[in-house]
Amino acid sequence: MSYPTSLKTFASEVLANFYTVAAVLPSSIHLASAMVEPLPLSRTLVAIELGAGTGAVTRQLLSVLPQNATLLAFEINPRFVSYLEQTFHDPRLVLINESVENVESVLHQHSYHHVDVVVSSLGLGFMSEPKRRSIFDGLLPFVRSHTVLTQYQYIHSLQFSNGRLRRLSLQPLLNDYFGSVESRIIWRNFPPAYVYTCRPQEHGAETEFCCQKKCKPDFVYKAKGGRPTQPGPIR
């Protein structure tokens, strides 16, 4: 489908469901490219997209992913899912019309026990802190030493908390789950946005611990609050 059709679909859903869409326009090609660029896609077999929208980032991912890869794209909005089904006819793409809070159970249902890359366009600023952490807690058992996650956040980064409008930085949250968090600003988007690139930490810090049993021996998870999370077996 054409960009005007995508924009029309997106705009109508923004008006109807702003807090689930959490954006005013689809990601620009510059933001979509910045979300995909840090990912090791040439070696990826299992990719996850959280919040596919009308497919701006989906298109970039499918243009680079190997032919034997699988892209699991989560999108809770049924109209966006219908649009994606009509737009993309790629056997690598699996559309999942469920909340990302169910990511752990969905991955187990599809018999996946690790992910290579995660691309998140979720409006985390519109979620409560427990919900944000629930999503990352669900992802953590599938993260391996080579896994890379990207997440964007608009530079205004505002959130209502206790009746006040305040700035929300995702950096502390991401630091709780990943050993390395880098950011850059993409100005050629409306609004401009930060892109965070997150990687697990290998060996070292006191807040990390080594996985036991069936986890890769060189990998160290970063525990939330010092509590270990056991991963599933490697697929």
How confident is the model over 180-229, as pLDDT tens digits? 999 999 999 988 999 999 999 764 443 343 333 233 333 333 434 433 34
For the chain, how big is the Rg over CA atoms in Å?
A: 17
H-state helical runs in the chain: 3-16, 18-21, 29-36, 56-64, 78-87, 103-109, 129-139, 171-177
Q: pTM of this prediction? A: 0.77
Domains of the chain by residue range? 3-222
Residue range 156-185: mean pLDDT, rounded: 82
Residue whose entry in the numeric block shows the structure tokens 């032919």: 67
How confident is the model over 47-82, as pLDDT tens digits? 999 999 999 999 999 999 999 999 999 999 999 999
Q: Structurally, what CATH architecture does the domain formed by 3-222 represent? A: 3-Layer(aba) Sandwich (3.40)
